[in-house]
């Protein structure tokens, strides 16, 4: 039996999600807590990236994790086993999280004691990009097997994120993935986006990503 706390959330009834998201963002800022909204396709490696990030941070930041899924607790169990405070959010079939759902999930964590909360959004490159969760920052993962043409097909996701992590670079020999072309396509949508190349499996390339994230978290929490 799982000991993971499960929180069932429903789509917000508030008509103005943007206002609710801004309110949540300000509250988190006043509590010196940075909320990272992590988005990707199913199977891009969100959970593995979170676990490797926790390992690399090695206690330098106090981290909690919200795992959103339609069903199951497999991700929250993995993250809890890696030593983080973890809560599983069940979206009741919903394809994304909004600010009200995120707020409900945050109630399962001791936010005041945490520097960083990572929200693993539902695996989906479309809908999550349309809803502000109240996060301090949104980041996406695109894995090599998905292909370098995704910025052409899912433009909004690449536009709303501050960084894109290219994951599974260890399996490059198996796939045709043109890194230069991918970066060109991403930067056409979003010229200021940070791009990292990693393997969450081997840990390759994690240092620049973890340094970038830590700097963001520290800057946010110091100016609270």
In the complex, minimum distance from the CB of residue 77 to its own copies, in angstroms, rounded to a whole number: 11
Query: Is residue 149 part of the contact set for its own copies (CB under 8 A)?
Result: yes
Q: Of 107, 163, 101, 165, nearest to 127 (Cα)? A: 101
137 exposed, middle or buried (CB, 10 Å; 0-12, 13-18, 19+)? middle
Query: Is residue 146 part of the contact set for its own copies (CB under 8 A)?
Result: yes
Query: Is residue 145 part of the contact set for its own copies (CB under 8 A)?
Result: yes
Sequence-distant (6+) residues with CB within 8 A of 173 are: none
Of 23-31, 112-120, 124-132, 203-211, the segment contacting its own copies by CB under 8 A is: 124-132
In the complex, minimum distance from the CB of residue 70 to its own copies, in angstroms, rounded to a whole number: 6
* DSSP-derived 3-state class of residue 199: coil
Integer angstrom CA distances of residue 64 from 2, 7, 25, 212: 18, 15, 16, 18
Report how far residue 117's alpha carbon sits from residue 28's, in angstroms, rounded to the nearest whole number.
10
In the complex, minimum distance from the CB of residue 216 to its own copies, in angstroms, rounded to a whole number: 26
Give the total of residues touching its own copies (CB under 8 A): 33
Of 19-27, 51-59, 69-77, 102-110, the segment contacting its own copies by CB under 8 A is: 69-77
Span 91-110, contacts to its own copies by CB under 8 A? 93, 95
Pick from 72, 159, 202, 224 the residue near its own copies by CB under 8 A. Answer: 72
Phi-psi region of 68 (alpha: psi -120 to 50; beta: other; left: phi over 0): beta
Query: Is residue 125 part of the contact set for its own copies (CB under 8 A)?
Result: yes
Instruction: Name the residues that contact its own copies, by CB under 8 A.
Output: 41-43, 69-72, 74, 93, 95, 122-127, 130, 143, 145-147, 149-150, 152-156, 168, 170-171, 174-175
């Amino acid at each position: 039996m799982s000991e993971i706390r499960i929180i069932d959330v429903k789509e917000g009834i508030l008509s103005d999600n943007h206002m609710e998201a801004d309110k949540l963002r300000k509250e988190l800022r006043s509590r010196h807590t940075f909320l990272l909204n992590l988005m990707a396709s199913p199977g891009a490696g969100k959970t593995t990236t979170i676990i490797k990030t926790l390992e690399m941070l090695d206690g330098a930041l106090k981290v909690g994790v919200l795992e959103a899924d339609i069903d199951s607790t497999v991700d929250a169990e993995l993250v809890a086993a890696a030593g983080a405070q973890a809560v599983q959010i069940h979206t009741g079939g919903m394809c994304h999280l909004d600010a009200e759902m995120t707020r409900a999930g945050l109630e399962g964590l001791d936010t005041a004691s945490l520097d960083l909360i990572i929200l693993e959004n539902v695996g989906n490159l479309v809908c999550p990009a349309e809803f502000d969760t109240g996060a301090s920052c949104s980041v996406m993962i695109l894995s090599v097997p998905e292909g370098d043409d995704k910025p052409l097909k899912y433009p909004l996701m690449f536009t709303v994120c501050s960084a894109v992590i290219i994951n599974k670079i260890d399996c490059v020999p198996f796939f045709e993935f043109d890194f230069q072309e991918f970066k060109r396509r991403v930067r056409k949508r979003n010229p200021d986006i940070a791009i990292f190349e990693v393997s969450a499996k081997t840990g390759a390339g994690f240092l620049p990503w973890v340094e970038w994230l830590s700097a963001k978290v520290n800057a946010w929490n110091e100016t609270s």
